[in-house]
Structure 1
Amino acid sequence: MQKVRYAVVGAGWISQIAFMPAVAQTGNSEITVIVSGNADAARKLADFHDVPHVVPYEDYDKILADDLVDAVYIALPNSMHADYAIRAARAGKHLLVEKPLAISVEECEAMIAAAEEAGVHLMTAYRLHHEPGTVELLEQIRKGAIGDPRIFSSVFSLQSVLGNHRLQSKHWGGPLQDIGVYCLNAARQVFGDEPVEVVAMEGGAEGDPRFTEVAEAVAVTLRFPEGRFAQFVASFGADANDSFQVVGTQGTLTMDPAFKFDDALKMRLRQNEKTVDEISAEQVDHFGAMTAYFSDCIMNGSPPENDGYEGLADVKAMIAIEKAAATGRAQKIDIAPRTARPGPDTVRHIPCTQRRLVL
């Protein structure tokens, strides 16, 4: 196998602006099928990206049965992830699924079971696990640059657009699931551990027509083992901001910007109340790096670090966060310990491209 052949399942904004332009940069991946409900738009995208096949959702199982793809990239609304992933796994296709992995623990477990039974890889699309700046920050923490990390704090906010499916409860939309998951996943990687308890609140301005089904914002406090704490706020109704800070016993690391894929991430290290290092990370194509890594896993037969269990861990935590916000009571979180974490071996240095078509 010289290149892994992907079907793009769901040709919406993230596929158009990020995934499809990135694949050609990888060298080990290609798109051979677009699965979409909008035939005209899909054909324009296919022509632009030299994709030979466009099929409607009704023909999804047919293209899975044919020898057209090795893997699927699923970028559908959250409520559709499990169905399309399980069908692909049963057809022997590898699975790259956007976060959150699914809308329930049961769906996540069913996806993991289907992939394991079929002997295919399931990877949750945590692109930052393959981005050099994020991994360098984790390496600095592991090397003791700030002593023992004790406190994680983060804000991720943007102004959402009325009508977006991420504002619909039927798709498990909301700021927690769409952007708060970045803060949650970052905290878990920073501490190299799993949260054990959470308190949370939801809120927002009254009368905003965007937020009739989901909250505008969520504020979360997570307790980790050894008395560590992580706090974050995710908002769909505030000025664009994405940053986090890790305070240790001997220093502080700040990443700003921290999560978006269209900026070079920037890290600052403070020790003894003075800035001692500022690093602008190499700007790579996040989606290209993620796809190149997954294709390497497929071709090498090695399991991905950010597998289905990694996606399941965040879903378990998010469900506990929602319950804590709804009840006003602290909720316990039970996540199995993870041994796999992002590191230098998960990074891929894929150049960015400006060649994209967004319809």
Structure 2
Amino acid sequence: MADTFAAALDDFTRRDWQTLAPDAVDDPVRVAVVGLGWFAREWALPGIDRSAYTEAAVVCGVDPEVTAAVAAERDLVGVAPDELRSGAVAEEYDAVYVATPNATHLEYVEAAAEQGKAVLCEKPVEATLDRAERLVSACDDAGVPLMVGYRMQTDPAVRRLKESVADGALGDVVHVHATMSQTMLGELGTDHDQWRLDPDLSGGCALMDIGVYPLNTTRFVLEADPVAVFGTTRSEHAAFAGVDEHASYRLTFADGVEAMCSVSQTAQHASRLEVTGTEGRAVLDPAFYEREDREFALERGGSRVGVEFEQVHQPAEEFAYFGHQLLAEEPFYPDGEHALGDARALDAVYESAETGSVVRLDG
């Protein structure tokens, strides 16, 4: 067993994408951070700081007091949304990180594309499939690089899981089980007046907010896109009227592999990803939250190997990859076209939940 898994587990936290040494960077990518919610303040900005390939230069938010406070604390340029969209301080940054509510991504990405700036847009790429397609087209038409914020793809634990599957350490994959849940209103310190509960801003709640993690991570690990989906959604509490509180969906792939996924905004905090093959099983538990250490284990022939590794700051790894690829003039893997795969699948899950039928994605 040790020999079988050795390649996957050797040098666990290596950055297999890195060709440009961090100490060789004299001029890191200057990033404008758009949207100053809790994630941007507590995770994205520290992640930018930790990366040798990026530095924060501009912050932009809808609340002038918050923007001014963050700018003063970090000695950055602080601007209002209209100023950023107009290009008034465009000479201050090289790239734009968009972390605003889902349905406002398009306007900021379009502005960045018009200014010729590279873009890192948070997931899901937009609130609807149509707007997601317009966003990707805006970057394509302007010829600017677009990366979408799937931070799981740059986490070493997920990359080693993907390698284990590709190397055949599990045999042929048979099925995937994934779950993610939280008590959203309590854990995020928010009341009922927030954008995730507004269908026009979010496009949905459980599925659009956290359902994308099992979906995209499964696609990444299997290196495949689903050909059909079946899903259900439900809401029990008044706060979630008009959006989905819970969602479950099944992804079917061309080779017959199925992924069973469930997410909830009002269940015990948990996340897990389990890939089972004909000869073994790999488990990430916890799996998806940036504020938890990931635990990785491989099982085969009645034996289990748990891997101890140095945990990474997920947004720091994401921004390091973003900045590195720009400086090295290399393409991104989680680009706009990749993100549209999620947008199509999410749209299909909602259609399936409404019609009660399987929805095909392969034409």
What's the TM-score once normalised by structure 2's chain length? 0.88
* 1:198 equivalent among 225, 229, 251: 229
Q: C-alpha separation between the residues in 1 aligned to 2:88 and 2:231? A: 42
Q: C-alpha separation between the residues in 1 aligned to 2:146 and 2:362? A: 22
1:56 paired residue number: 80
Question: Which stretch of structure 1 is more off in the superposition, 19-28 or 106-115?
Answer: 106-115
Deviations 1:54-95 (A, max 9, x none): 111121233466311111100010001111101110110111
Q: C-alpha separation between the residues in 1 aligned to 2:271 and 2:79? A: 37
Residue 300 (structure 1) shift: 1.9
2:312 paired residue number: 284
2:164 paired residue number: 140
Q: C-alpha separation between the residues in 1 aligned to 2:159 and 2:61? A: 34
1:314 alignment partner AA: D
Residue 38 (structure 1) shift: 1.2
Q: C-alpha separation between the residues in 1 aligned to 2:108 and 2:85? A: 9
Q: SS at 1:317's partner residue?
A: helix
Q: SS at 2:255's partner residue?
A: helix
1:165 alignment partner AA: W
Question: Is residue 167 from structure 1 mapped to residue 197 from structure 2 by the alignment?
Answer: yes
The 8 Å contact of residues 53 and 323 in structure 2, kept in 1 or not, is answered as yes
Q: C-alpha separation between the residues in 2 aligned to 1:238 and 1:280? A: 28
2:129 paired residue number: 105
Q: Cα distance 1:281–1:314, how it changes in 2: closer, same or farther (>3 A)?
A: farther
Q: Cα distance 1:334–1:167, how it changes in 2: closer, same or farther (>3 A)?
A: farther
The 8 Å contact of residues 94 and 118 in structure 2, kept in 1 or not, is answered as yes
2:69 alignment partner AA: K
1:238 alignment partner AA: A
2:352 paired residue number: 324
Question: Is residue 185 from structure 1 mapped to residue 213 from structure 2 by the alignment?
Answer: no
Deviations 1:198-248 (A, max 9, x none): 11111243xx22211212101111111111100110100101011011110
Q: Cα distance 1:313–1:281, how it changes in 2: closer, same or farther (>3 A)?
A: farther
Q: C-alpha separation between the residues in 2 aligned to 1:112 and 1:269? A: 37
Deviations 1:231-277 (A, max 9, x none): 110100101011011110001111101001122211111112332x1
1:313 paired residue number: 341
Question: Which stretch of structure 1 is more off in the superposition, 314-323 or 164-173?
Answer: 164-173
Q: C-alpha separation between the residues in 1 aligned to 2:183 and 2:300? A: 35
Q: SS at 2:124's partner residue?
A: coil
The 8 Å contact of residues 235 and 241 in structure 2, kept in 1 or not, is answered as no
The 8 Å contact of residues 11 and 75 in structure 1, kept in 2 or not, is answered as yes
Residue 119 (structure 1) shift: 2.2
Q: Cα distance 1:117–1:64, how it changes in 2: closer, same or farther (>3 A)?
A: farther
Q: What is the CA RMSD across the aligned residues, in angstroms?
A: 1.5
1:233 paired residue number: 262
Question: Is residue 95 from structure 1 mapped to residue 95 from structure 2 by the alignment?
Answer: no
Q: Kindly tell me the number of residue pairs found equivalent between the two proteins.
A: 331
Question: Which stretch of structure 1 is more off in the superposition, 63-72 or 140-149?
Answer: 63-72
The 8 Å contact of residues 89 and 118 in structure 1, kept in 2 or not, is answered as yes
Residue 196 (structure 1) shift: 0.6
The 8 Å contact of residues 152 and 231 in structure 1, kept in 2 or not, is answered as yes
Map 1:1-359 to 2 at 5 A. 2-51=27-76, 53-63=77-87, 66-161=90-185, 162-171=192-201, 172-205=203-236, 208-275=237-304, 277-334=305-362
Q: SS at 1:173's partner residue?
A: coil
1:37 alignment partner AA: V
Residue 109 (structure 1) shift: 2.5
The 8 Å contact of residues 125 and 290 in structure 1, kept in 2 or not, is answered as yes
Task: Tell me the percent identity.
Answer: 30
Listed as ranges, the gaps of 5+ residues in structure 2 are 1-25, 186-191
2:197 alignment partner AA: L
Q: SS at 1:303's partner residue?
A: coil
The 8 Å contact of residues 115 and 122 in structure 1, kept in 2 or not, is answered as yes
Q: Cα distance 1:322–1:280, how it changes in 2: closer, same or farther (>3 A)?
A: farther
The 8 Å contact of residues 151 and 230 in structure 1, kept in 2 or not, is answered as yes
The 8 Å contact of residues 198 and 321 in structure 1, kept in 2 or not, is answered as yes
Deviations 1:294-347 (A, max 9, x none): 111211222111101111110000000000001101101139xxxxxxxxxxxx
Listed as ranges, the gaps of 5+ residues in structure 1 are 336-359
